[in-house]
Amino acid sequence: MAPYRLLQSATLLGLLLTLPACISPGHTPEPPKLLSADALAAGQDLTLATTQRPASDHDLWWRTFQDPDLDRLLDAALDNSPSLAIASARISRAEAEANVAQANTRPGLSAMTQILRSQDSEHYKTSASESGTWHSDGQALLQGRYNLDLWGLNRALNEAAVGSLRAAEADRAVARLALSGSLVETWFALAGVLEQQAVVDQALEQRRSIYRISEQRLQSGLGTQVDVVRARGPIPLLEAEQARLQGAARVYQLRLAALAGKGPGWGEQWRPRGTDLRRSVVLPGQLPADLVGNRPDVIAQRWRVEAQAQRIGAARAAFYPNIDLLAFAGFQSFSFQNLFHHDSRTYGVGPALTLPIFDAGRLRGQYQAQQAGYAEAVANYNQVLVDALADVARYLSQLRALEGQRVKTVQGLDEAERAYDLEYLRYRQSLTDFLHVLDAQTRVLDARMQLVQLKTAAQQNHAGLLRALGGRTETDKNVTRLAETSHD
């Protein structure tokens, strides 16, 4: 009898395991391919880089600028930023979801206690029982459950949750990089406005000095009223420009406060110190493609691709039998007095199998949806990678163009300053007309203002370049782990 029952069980199990042929994923299309930064044409802007590696730390990239005040600003602003708090909350949520997914891969144990006192109805009794009989039912059981996960469904869901967690961690780095980049660019914009203020202040002082000289010359009979009017005319315009720049500086201070999540008054303390207008911006050295590949947004998208690949595996595993190993042990009795008696012991163990047979296309639809999600994730990754290379090339191109403009503008400023000094000296000696002095001073003012604007643009583009490179110079450990798992 026992061999017959064994054969019967084996036949039933084999039949159940072959039933998935009734419902299958169907045709699986060729998955899309991930682009590689090395495979994309770098172009002249990237290949012109030198062989020296950038000297910025991947978390504190702004220290490249060697500005202690900027360092203090970033340290204060990044401590309690609302945008970073949002990203941290998303990490906590993803971590909790990963813990839930991991729990499904482990055995579970629960306790169940049931104590019932019931009375049978007139129409719910056996011939041997009497109407109105009271019954007692007591149970105290420990129940265990373990999913064998033969097809890897739970493992795949767990890996997908881990991938989502890693993506959330990378998203926080994206938020930190974006915030620090905005702070640095605003800092340089404020510095540029303050330097323009200094240029206008100097020009205003020169115009007032010329105005005083014109009045003295008029009183001594060496000048004319026309010279006095001409000397006084630019002063109100420069004072108006001075007021405009003060307002612009206040706007940038307010922006710094808003980016840092502080009150409006917090930004008033920040006044960047000016530097030599003639100094060039030192570009970072080597710009290998792996720096672009290690940008936080690229890393986040790569983890999303990995998570989506695991979800495809889970959707495929859902077509196959799901087998749980169940066990229980405890006490059962129809008498409360005997519930924990030695003879009331009970236990059991055995498998529980669920198998989809006909589901009107639900599983196939889920599988196809996950495949489409993978294609979307790959496309997003490829687009982010292409955009990253474009950002780097754009910033490099702009920096080189700005450097060329700076060199020519410095030459023009030197010539304008020499011309102004000569014209001013000749004017004091009554050897030239006042219009020549005014024209020479205007050229000096224009050249200095242009040089300040070029310097500000170069500093902001330098910051943008470092941000486009991900603000890092070393491979992230999660990228290394991801590369290892993707080649298994």
Distance CA 83, CA 180 (A): 11
- Pairwise CA distance, residues 173 & 344, whole Å: 60
User: Over 244-266, what HEC string results?
Assistant: HHHHHHHHHHHHHHHHCCCCHHH
Model confidence at 392: pLDDT above 70: yes
pLDDT tens, residue by residue, 143-189: 988 888 888 999 999 999 999 999 999 999 999 999 999 999 999 99
Task: Give the pLDDT band of residue 191 (cuts 50, 70, 90).
Answer: very high
Compute the distance between CA of residue 208 and CA of residue 103 in angstroms, rounded to an integer: 78
Residue reference for tokens 């056996």: 126
Instruction: Render 289-309 in DSSP notation, one character per residue.
Output: HHHHHT-HHHHHHHHHHHHHH
Confidence at 407, pLDDT banded by 50, 70, 90: very high
Q: CA-to-CA distance for 398 and 414, rounded, in angstroms?
A: 24
Round to whole Å and give the CA distance between 444 and 438.
10
pTM for this predicted structure: 0.76
In tens, the pLDDT along 117-151 reads 777 776 666 655 555 567 777 888 889 888 888 88
pLDDT at 283 over 70: no
- Across the beta sheet with 345-354, the strand order is 108-119, 134-147, 322-333, 345-354
Residue predicted with more confidence, 71 or 292: 71
Q: From CA 72, how far away is CA 226, in angstroms rounded?
A: 52
Give me the mean pLDDT over the 110-116 stretch: 85
Tokens found for residue 166: 């890693």
| pLDDT tier for residue 470 given thresholds of 50, 70 and 90 | confident
CA 244 to CA 80: how far, in whole Å?
32
CA distances from 378 to 33, 228, 230, 304 (A): 7, 71, 67, 9
Give the per-residue pLDDT at 3.
55
Over the stretch 13-41, which tens digit does the pLDDT of each residue have?
555 555 554 555 655 667 677 666 555 54
The percentage of the chain sitting over the pLDDT mark of 90, rounded to a whole number, equals 35
Which of 9-18, 47-56, 421-430 has the largest mean confidence? 421-430
Question: What's the pLDDT score for residue 428?
Answer: 78
Please write the tens of the pLDDT for every residue from 433-443. Answer: 778 888 888 89
Q: What is the pLDDT of residue 81?
A: 82
CA distance 468 to 292: 7
Q: Which domains does the chain have, with CATH numbers?
A: 33-108+151-324+368-486 (1.20.1600.10)
